[in-house]
Structure 1
Amino acid sequence: MLIGEVARRSGVSARMLRHYESLGLVRPTGRTDGGYREYTDEDIRRIFHIESLRSLGLSLREVGRALDDPGFTPSELVDDLIRQTRERVAVETELLTRLHRIGAAEPAGWEDVLRTVALLQALGSKSAGTRQRAALSSAGGEPVPVEALVEAALGENDPIVAGALRWALARGAEGGPALLAKGLDSPAAEVRERAVRSLAELPDEEATALLREALAHPDAVVRGHAALALGARGVAEAVPVLIDMIVAETNDVDAADALSALASRPGSADGIAAGLVERLAHAGAGAPARRRLAQALAEIPGVTAAGALAELARDEDRSVALTAAYIVELREGR
């Protein structure tokens, strides 16, 4: 079969077939009387083998080795190809994400594009100072896509930079709450905490609704940050989690302060006191937890809290009784 017909049947151009021949990948077995290349069926099978291996991403050099080296190990090459492909996909995915973000910023001209690119690069800088300046710039109105801000906030280790990023998100970046809420499902505990801390600083109703949902989150840290934020917003649904935090001695002082703030709202004090009293009766955590609950009652006004403290002043556990008696004395002296 002559080269022209081989090209037509194989889909490989005559020029490429000559290139393969120059590299020693496939040589026509014979020549016609006129000196034209003549390919046998075996030559054509080798051409198809070459094309199949090239389709996997092998270089022509690797193709030659695969076909001619008796010691060649296909599994090693396949593993290398998998690694290279993953790296290439990661690079292309990063580029695609960046392009989407630049498009989301709706640039009016190339200056806007370049400014957005510079800010995206700054957010990914190894320098904490550079990242902080980028976050502050975005808070000042520079067009940084909210997806980039959320990704930066969820991945930031430096507490100062993290604060700047949360502030930037709190400036009203549209779509921020829903994107942050996805971080609550991260398998990484630190990402979940960053997500809920960022949500806690967003003042809008959507963030409040998401924080309400977070009260049932399986991660106690997420529940705790959500409860503290909701307590500051006057959301009574946070009370049970705040009481749990006092029992567990997890940010218990902040939790008690949040309960006190909630109790100052009209009609709330007795219900909060009743919740504390119920946990006192069923805490099952020993004297330290009961003392913390008694101390939390100190800042809750109303007859329910007063009656509970008076009863605790006679508690069989001396440390709890002394704590309650001291609190009663202070309350009576006000």
Structure 2
Amino acid sequence: MLIGEVARRSGVSARMLRHYDALGLVRPTGRTVGGYREYSAEDIRRIFRVESLRSLGLSLRQVARALDDPAMTPSALVGDLIRWTEERLERERELLDRLRAIDASAPEDWPGVLRVVDLLQGLSSGSAARRQQAVLTQPEDGPIPAEVLAGSVLAEADPHVAGALRWALARAGGEGLATLAAGARSADVDVRRRAVVAIAELGETAPGATEVLVAALDDPDGTVRRHAALALGRQGMTSVVPTLVGMVVEGADDVAAAEVLGALSEDPGCADRILAALVDELAAAPADGAVRIRLAQALVELAGTTGQEVLRRLAQDDDRTVALVASAFVGVLDERAAADGTA
């Protein structure tokens, strides 16, 4: 079969068939009297094998080795192809993300594009100092792609860089919440923790943030639940009082929890509820001095002299350390009352 007929039937151009011949990849078995290439049935089968292997992404050199080198095992070659393809796709995903970030920042000129590119390159650095610098040196009037910042927050393990990213994200006006909300549902507990901390710092400025934090109260991870409870408590949500009191009892972020309980107690109705919860915990932990001291510390945080009577009772506690701490707190409340003119 002559080259023109082979090209028509195989779909491989005559020019490519000549290239295969020049490389020694598919050499026609014979030649006509006039010197034209003449392909046998076996030659045509080899052409189809070449095209099949090329469809897998092999180079012509790799195709030749696969067909002619007995040491080239299919499993090894296919394994290499999978690895190379995954690396290529990862590079293309990174490029796509970069292009989307530039598009989202809506730059008006090429300097604006370059600022975003510089930020992306800085955030991909292996140096924490370089990543932090990339965030902190962004111009205030320049486009800041919030989705990129949010994605970086979820991935950032260095606390200093993470703080800079959250600051920049908050400065972006509450944007990026969709990415953070997705992070709050991640299977990776570290990602969920970073997401909730970032959402908490956005506060009520980001529409929908409160709903994400409320959902986080049911998270299986205690750290996530505590961050959510503290954030919601700072927003004035009284339904988190039991969680905050539990944090005081457990000694998990107990100082922050006590401060939030103190702020919530500015509402007289809520103050009674908090006081009752703390008193119940004191009754449940009669022999645990450490718990009773933490509860005393929470009582002294309550507005006005709300916890004064309970602290006076604790000043007579059988545990001398508890009694001394409570007695000191009674003195603090007495001074507070004198300053307020309520003594």
CA RMSD between the two structures:
2.7
Shift of 1:189: 3.6
Shift of 1:277: 2.5
**Partner residue, 1:258:** 260
Q: 1:138 to 1:214 in 2, by over 3 A?
A: farther
Match of 1:59 in 2: 59
- 2:301 is paired with a residue whose SS is coil
Deviations 1:279-305 (A, max 9, x none): 334469944223322332233358974
Question: Which runs of 5 or more residues in structure 1 are unaligned?
Answer: none
Written as runs of structure 1 = structure 2, the 5 A alignment for 1:96-135 is 96-135=96-135
Note the alpha carbon deviations across 1:87-133, whole angstroms, 9 max, x for none.
Answer: 00000010011111111112223232223222322333344444334
Distance 1:168 1:92, change over 3 A: same
TM-score (norm 2): 0.86
The SS at the match of 1:56 is: coil
Structure 1 residue 150 displacement after superposition: 0.9
TM-score by structure 1 length? 0.88
1:144 alignment partner in structure 2? 144
The answer for unaligned runs of 5 or more in structure 2 is 338-343
Structure-2 residue corresponding to 1:272: 274
Alignment of 1:129-208 (within 5 A): 129-138=129-138, 140-173=140-173, 175-203=175-203, 204=205, 205-208=207-210
- The amino acid of 1:79's aligned partner reads G
One of 297, 300, 304 as aligned partner of 2:299: 297
Contact 2:293–2:325 (8 Å) recurs in 1: yes
Query: Are 1:237 and 2:239 matched, yes or no?
Result: yes
Hey, what's the Cα distance between the residues in 1 that align with 2:326 and 2:131? 50
Whether the aligned pair in 2 keeps the contact of 1:120 and 1:144 (CA below 8 Å) is no
Residues 113 and 330 (structure 1), Cα distance of their counterparts in 2 relative to 1, 3 Å cut: closer
For the pair 1:84 / 2:81, whether they are aligned, the reply is no
Letter in 2 for 1:177: L
Q: Cα distance, 1:210 vs. partner?
A: 2.3
Identical aligned residues as a percent: 58
Q: Distance in 2 between matches of 1:298 and 1:149?
A: 40
Q: Distance in 2 between matches of 1:319 and 1:275?
A: 22
Match of 2:38 in 1: 38
- Code of the residue aligned with 2:22 in structure 1: it is S
In 2 relative to 1, CA 73–256 (structure 1 residues): closer, same or farther, beyond 3 Å? Answer: same
2:208 aligned counterpart, secondary structure? helix
Amino acid aligned to 2:181: A
Contact 1:139 1:169 (C-alpha < 8 Å) held by counterparts? no
| Deviates most, 98-107 or 316-325 | 316-325
1:154-185 Cα offsets, whole Å, 9 max, x none, are: 23334333222211111244532222122223
CA distance in 2, matches of 1:127, 1:244: 39
Structure 1 residues 98-107 or 86-95, which shifts more? Answer: 98-107
Secondary structure, aligned partner of 2:268: coil
Task: Name the counterpart of 2:4.
Answer: 4
2:110 partner letter: W
2:307 & 2:279 partners in 1: Cα distance? 8
**Structure 1 stretch 130-139 or stretch 249-258: which is displaced more?**
130-139
Residue 2 of structure 1, CA deviation: 0.9
Post-superposition shift, 1:237?
A: 2.3
